[in-house]
Amino acid sequence: MLDTLMTTAAGALSATVGVLVGGIVTRSAQDRQWSRDQQLAAYQELLGHYARFTMELRRAHGDRRGWDYDWGEWSAALMRASLVAPAEVAAAIHEFGLAVDTFLDQVARTRGPLTNPLPPDEFEQARQAPARAQVQLVNAIRRSLSADRRGIPFPIGG
């Protein structure tokens, strides 16, 4: 009788420990997935803003017309992406933001599309620094989210 009781108790204890460990492992996997989803959404938003305002600026210079953009949303997108990013990606976001700011100095703040538009080749030249920073950022994102260590050698969008 004592052997049966000990066997039953050991089985119940093993099952309980299994359920607890399974719950912890599942919770940890769910937390990682949630974090990854938040990162992807923030990165997509940031890169989407970049592509939109770069195209808007390109068109404004080409058409010699005015343009407008919600820079508060751009700044908020930088902050949201930095908030959920691991350190390496946050550093790349910072460098990307600096390169974009320099680009904006060249094509929006000092050379307005209405008064002094840039020809397409000069616009492309001004876009090179943020394009390189974008490649570095995308590759940092890819390294942080997957096993992709090769990265991509070219900018996307913009």
- pLDDT tens-digit map of 121-130: 999 999 999 9
Written as six digits, the tokens of 147 are 């096993």
Residues in Cβ contact with 139 at an 8 Å cutoff, skipping those fewer than 6 apart: 151, 152
Reported confidence tier of residue 33, pLDDT bands at 50, 70, 90: confident
pLDDT over threshold 90, residue 148: no
pLDDT over threshold 80, residue 1: no
| Domain map (residue ranges) of the chain | 34-145
Chain centroid offset of residue 120 CA: 28
Reported confidence tier of residue 158, pLDDT bands at 50, 70, 90: low
Q: Is the pTM of this model over 0.85?
A: no
